[in-house]
Amino acid sequence: MSSAHGFEFTVRSDGSVVLTHHGRKATVLRGARAEEFLEDVASDPQGAMARWTGNYRRGNEPAAKQHPRNAP
């Protein structure tokens, strides 16, 4: 299980992935989509979970990555 700013995901024994946001189930991914998600989430957990749940359309994501507060 992993988390990022309210998002969490759990990989079930059948290979499906359950994504939750603030404790509420947002989506369940199965098969190839679950595998694709797991590859995507390794590089950017917050962004990946927001994209896969559809909770990303705020318009400030590119600018936010460049903000000094978010610098690595």
Q: What is the pLDDT of residues 5-63, one digit of tens each?
A: 788 899 999 999 999 888 889 889 999 999 999 998 888 888 888 888 876 555 566 67
Residue 60 lies in a domain: no
CA atoms within 13 A on the CB side of 64: 7
Residue 66 lies in a domain: no
Residue 65 pLDDT exceeds 80: no
Residue 64 lies in a domain: no
CA atoms within 13 A on the CB side of 3: 7
Whole domain around residue 41: which residue ranges? 2-55
Residue 69 lies in a domain: no
Confidence (pLDDT) at 3: 45
Residue 70 lies in a domain: no
- Total domains in the chain come to 1
Residue 23 lies in a domain: yes
Q: By 3-state DSSP, what share of the chain in percent is helix, strand and coil, each rounded to 5?
A: 45, 25, 30
Instruction: Write down the pTM of the prediction.
Output: 0.66
H or E element that contains 33: helix 31-43
